[in-house]
Amino acid sequence: MQLLRLLADGRFHSGEELGTALGISRSAVWKRLQQLSAEHVLVLHKVRGKGYRLEQPLSLLSVSELSARLPSLTLWVEDCVDSTNAMALKKLAEPAVALPFAILAESQSAGRGRRGRHWVSPYGQSLYLSYAIRVERAAQLQALSLVVGLAVRRALQSFGVSNVGLKWPNDLLVSGCKIAGILLELSGDPADVCHVVIGIGINANLLDANGIDQAWTSVQRVTGCPVDRNALAAVLLEQLDCVLTEHREHGFAAFHEEWEAGHLWQGCEVRLTSGVHEIDGRVLGVTLDGALRLLVDGVERTYSGGELTLRLRHDS
């Protein structure tokens, strides 16, 4: 992907210049650009006498820049993977892998969200990150996705997305549109020592995308300015380390008030779906172990685990 790195600044570069840098002919440059444009859904402009440029500059990831900011963290920056979570799970099977570690990618060919949904992952436009940790007791798993959501929210707020809120159990929304999602996957016995891969997707500089089946937005859409993806990744990883350390020591109780304050649907009428079953109720909040509290037919009930989907009721 050296060719895309040469074009990442969004300026015009002549075919001769690009060919010299890559050691290929100008015609080979054009063929490769056509292929990359099609594969990664990138809009390319070609102007006689000026050369080629991308319609939108790309903020590409730099392992050296991230390592300088996070010197104690083992991390990998990949060009394209099937999924950063899948790669992280494979890394966990390797002997003596250092934990925690992070994997980031410019794109994913098979990115995934909850319930097996495809996570659209265009090249160099969003943040695709997995963070692997060791969990030594089951209590550390309680409300873990909610705590991670707070780390993502704090990171987004620091980049000007002031109105971002939480949707139980693991999405972040702005004005009803999804800006980030979380997927946790376990390796090992959750009743004993195990490992957790924390997958996070953030729509950073995404302005247009095909295949997203829900309302979405991005940091650039909200703020009007492109975001430095290295800076966003670094802040997110710093926040993850911060909240996970506190969660390990004090549990979700240390975050309960902050989480409910950021919960967008607090007090709203919602519909909770589990398979073919639907439950209507009003959100009362979450318990100290992260379960959803609903008022259902005048009775408070709690729900957690399994493949649960929460939506606002049409009449709310």
Tell whether 20 is in a known binding site. no
Tell whether 245 is in a known binding site. no
Active site residue 178: yes
Catalytic residue among 91, 153, 154, 178: 178
Active site residue 50: no
Tell whether 34 is in a known binding site. no
Tell whether 84 is in a known binding site. yes
Tokens of 75: 């991390």
Tell whether 113 is in a known binding site. yes
Catalytic residue among 114, 153, 154, 229: 114
Q: How far apart are the first and last CA of the chain?
A: 48
Q: What is the DSSP letter of 46?
A: E
Bridge-based pairing state of the strands 299-303 and 51-54: unpaired
Residues 6+ apart with CB under 8 A from 246: 254, 255
Tokens of 53: 């440029």
Tell whether 223 is in a known binding site. no
Catalytic residue among 46, 117, 134, 311: 311
Tokens of 50: 């000026």
Tell whether 167 is in a known binding site. no
Coil/strand/helix, residue 267: coil
Active site residue 311: yes
CA of residue 44 relative to chain centroid, distance: 26
219-246 burial by CB neighbour count: b if 16+ within 10 A, else e?
A: bbbbeeebbebbbbbbbbbbbbbebbee
Do 141 and 190 touch, CB atoms closer than 8 A? yes
State the Cα–Cα distance between residues 24 and 30, nearest whole angstrom: 10
Tell whether 85 is in a known binding site. yes
**In 3D, which of 31, 29, 33 has the Cα closest to residue 42?**
33
Residues annotated as binding site for biotin?
A: 83-85, 108, 112-114, 178
Residues annotated as binding site?
A: 83-85, 108, 112-114, 178
Give me the active site residues, please: 114, 178, 311
